Amino acid sequence: MLPIIDRPLIQYAVDEAIQAGCDTLIFITNRYKHAVADYFDKAYELEQKLERAGKTEQLELVRHVLPNGVRAVFVTQAEALGLGHAVLCAKEIVGDEPFAVLLPDDLIYNRGDGALKQMTDLNASTGASVIAVEDVPHEQTASYGIVATDAFDGSHGRISAIVEKPKPEDAPSDLAVVGRYVLSPKIFELLEATGTGAGGEIQLTDAIAQLLKSEPVDAYRFEGRRFDCGTHLGLVEATIRFALNSKKLAKPARQKLQEMLAEDD
Ligand code: G1P
């Protein structure tokens, strides 16, 4: 729920999913995160207040939290057993069709199509599962899932191996998994058979390693810029970037930044 300028991080992921054509959004949260469900709930009283006060800009923001035709489902993950386990919590709702996973901490900005739309387009043309990747400095491989690919053509390649958070000396490449996945529903039965992995958690990466044995999975180097909003620096960077992209804020934000940089401390 941390905001970047005027909306919470989760809203950016929701907008990206909707742009890619998702009509059912499944939020896997813990039992303490009622704020997420509250935020997506319709805020009649607030809307009325804003309407009466003539605050049209804010009213638009509140009204478009979820557009018509998109439904939200909230699932509580009773215990934080890992990303793989969180994804498994959505099994009954997803059913037997391809689906996307977005980790909202990874905020991706792109002027054109969002990262997920780029990935669903690739999936539509190949039928393969797709995982977003980007190059990371070699010494940072232990913070990510890392893939090895066959014939990477600059934008995508078939994954031949994937490993969760390898030490730099064990990493098969510097291509790191970013929090966007388009997955075949077969992943659910594989997740059910996945035991604990790196960090003592049930890892999505380990189930994907199993998926590779029976189905094609592509790594896709998306167009856009990722901000790791799970870190303080990433949040600061994203805030500056979105301020500089905003019609209203770009000029004053640039001026403030210049003033600050010119100050001594
Ligand atoms: C998760 C995944 C990891 C991926 C990362 C991207 O890790 O397990 O493979 O590279 O997201 O943000 P986490 O950052 O949750 O530890």
Q: Which atom of ligand 1 is nearest to the CA of 228?
A: 12
User: Residues 176-200: pLDDT tens digits?
Assistant: 999 999 999 999 999 999 999 999 9
Q: Is the CB of 147 under 6 A from ligand 1?
A: no
Q: CA 79, CA 30: separation in Å to the nearest integer?
A: 8
Q: Where are the alpha helices (H) located in the chain, listed in sequence order?
A: 9-19, 34-40, 44-52, 56-63, 83-88, 91-94, 115-126, 187-192, 204-211, 232-245, 250-262
Cα of 48 from ligand 1 centre, angstroms: 41
User: Residues 86-108: pLDDT tens digits?
Assistant: 999 999 999 999 999 999 999 99
Domain 3-258 has what CATH class?
Answer: alpha beta
Q: Is the CB of 107 under 6 A from ligand 1?
A: no
Residue 76 burial by Cβ neighbours in a 10 Å radius (0-12, 13-18, 19+) = middle
pTM of the model: 0.92
Q: Which of 9, 87, 103, 222 to mutate to test the pocket of ligand 1 (most atoms within 8 A of CB)?
A: 103
User: Residues 98-157: pLDDT tens digits?
Assistant: 999 999 999 999 999 999 999 999 999 999 999 999 999 999 999 999 999 998 888 999
Cα of 204 from ligand 1 centre, angstroms: 9
Domain ranges of the chain: 3-258
Nearest CA to ligand 1 atom 11: 179
Q: Which residues contact 132 (CB under 8 A, 6 or more apart)?
A: 108, 115, 119, 177, 178, 179, 180, 181, 220, 221, 222
Please, which pLDDT band fits residue 55 given cuts at 50, 70 and 90? confident
Q: Which atom of ligand 1 is nearest to the CA of 178?
A: 6
Bridge partners of residue 132, in order along the sequence: 220
Nearest CA to ligand 1 atom 9: 145
Q: Is the CB of 86 under 6 A from ligand 1?
A: no
Give residue 151's pLDDT.
82
Give residue 26's pLDDT.
96
Nearest to 137 by CA among 244, 241, 228, 242: 228
Q: Is the CB of 88 under 6 A from ligand 1?
A: no
Cα of 182 from ligand 1 centre, angstroms: 15
Q: Is the CB of 175 under 6 A from ligand 1?
A: no
Longest Cα–Cα distance in the chain: 62
- Mean pLDDT across 252-261: 95
- Tokens 């592509």, located at residue: 218
Q: CA 123, CA 141: separation in Å to the nearest integer?
A: 26
User: Residues 192-249: pLDDT tens digits?
Assistant: 999 999 999 999 999 999 999 999 999 999 999 999 999 999 999 999 999 999 999 9
